[in-house]
Amino acid sequence: MIRDSLLILALALLAAAPRLATAAAAGATETRTVMVLGDSLSAAYGIPAEQGWVALTGERLRAGHPGWRIVNASLSGETSAGGASRIDAELARHSPEVVVIALGANDGLRGLPLGQTRANLAKMIAAAKAHGARVLLVGIRMPPNYGARYTEAFAAMYGELAAEHGTALLPFLLEPIAMDREAFQADNLHPVAGVQPQLRDHVWAALAPLLDETP
């Protein structure tokens, strides 16, 4: 009698195995993605990639938000034009639920026209939203030697875009460390590894609410 019952149970488990495997495979595809599209400030320039704020954010996601991952699509030297030209391919490749756009610094350092940068950022925001992703726009500021008119308009651009397109906004990526010379590498542009956790925490405050929104 016991042997018969065990045999029936074994046969039932064998019959259910394909359904269980299918369910497990379906569960494995439910990972949701945050994609960061940025420049060297997000690409961990001059330090090991795993010490950059994007990788550190990935660690926090794994620890506290199961089912989420982060993809770093940032490139050192990237401009807003480069990001605008790449975003459709990156969206198709990674299918993100949240897109962090952290570009414009190289435009500003080159003194490119603000209208050009603004149009490129707007194109990226529109592409991400058309894909169904929520957007966090991360701003940057220029050194004062570029002139008050340019630097003020540059900084204001991010807030204006966020308001126009209804996106989340982090006005200044480097705000927690901007006044600390020791926070930067010898080029005085790129943060050292030791301050990357501060940048992670700064971005996290704006990013975390987007993880909890219903798509």
Helix/strand/coil percentages in the chain, nearest 5: 55, 15, 30
Question: Among the options 74, 107, 131, 190, which is catalytic?
Answer: 190
Look up 190 and say whether it is catalytic: yes
Q: How far is CA 94 from the centre of its chain?
A: 12
Question: Among the options 40, 42, 74, 80, which is catalytic?
Answer: 40
What is the end-to-end Cα distance of the chain in Å, rounded? 53
Q: Are 87 and 74 in contact (CB under 8 A)?
A: no
The rounded distance, in Å, linking the Cα atoms of 187 and 141 is: 17
Beta bridge partners of 170: 138
Look up 187 and say whether it is catalytic: yes
In angstroms, what CA-CA distances link 8 with 1, 20, 170? 11, 18, 60
Question: Both tokens of residue 212?
Answer: 């909890």
Place of tokens 């990357």: 196
Q: Which of 141, 153, 137, 152 is nearest to 177 (CA)?
A: 141
- State phi, psi for 140 to the nearest 5 degrees: -140, 160
DSSP 32: E
Question: Among the options 4, 5, 187, 212, which is catalytic?
Answer: 187
Residues assigned a catalytic role? 40, 187, 190
